[in-house]
Amino acid sequence: MPRPRKINMAPAEVRDWLKEALRDSGWSGYERITEDLNAKLQEEGIELQIGKSAVHEYGQEYREFVKYQEQASQWAESWMTDNGLEEEAQRHNVLFQMLTTLAFKFMQQEMGKENGEIDPRELHFIGKMMKDVMASSGIREKLMDDERGRIALKAKEEAAGDMAKAATQLGMTAETVEAIREQILFGGKR
């Protein structure tokens, strides 16, 4: 079992400070950040010295994590918006971010192993988890209802078009054709 990294031995509030410092610096200035980190640890009375290379490695990993989290969040928001689920997107944004974070951590862990490959069976479990969340949130049902409604409307429009063509060929007036068309499309509720 590998030794824990020194950064992971620092208290959570110090790691949170480090993450904020990395973001605020634009992922640069690692030497200054390392000095500030070690000074902070010393102020806290923690006998731990962390090297610049460890801070740089942690910073690069955290930067990748933030990038993937933002990409996943943008994808989820875009997908939900494209499917007319803006309100669902707001309610489930936190849940999707949590899942994204877990998936990223898992993939990072798997890539860090000796052969650096992700077992497809493990990806299956991530996919299943996402599917279960979607099903539990009602997204899937809404998509299916919307699709059924779209298909039904399209069928009505085609039937109304066919009827209008036939009625015109039989010599009915434009007003009569339109009235029949509206009856088919809207059931007289317009």
- Which pLDDT value is given to residue 141? 67
Give tens-digit pLDDT for 3-34.
778 888 899 899 999 999 999 999 999 999 99
**Taking Cα atoms as reference points, which of 3, 2, 54, 56 lies closest to residue 28?**
56
Give tens-digit pLDDT for 76-102.
677 667 766 666 555 566 666 677 677
**Alpha-carbon span 164 to 174, nearest angstrom:** 9
- Which pLDDT value is given to residue 133? 67
Mean pLDDT of the chain: 80
Give me the residue spans of the domains in the chain.
6-137, 144-186
Q: What angle do CA 153, 159, 160 make, to 5 degrees?
A: 90
**Taking Cα atoms as reference points, which of 114, 19, 133 lies closest to residue 76?**
133
* Range 103-113 average pLDDT: 72
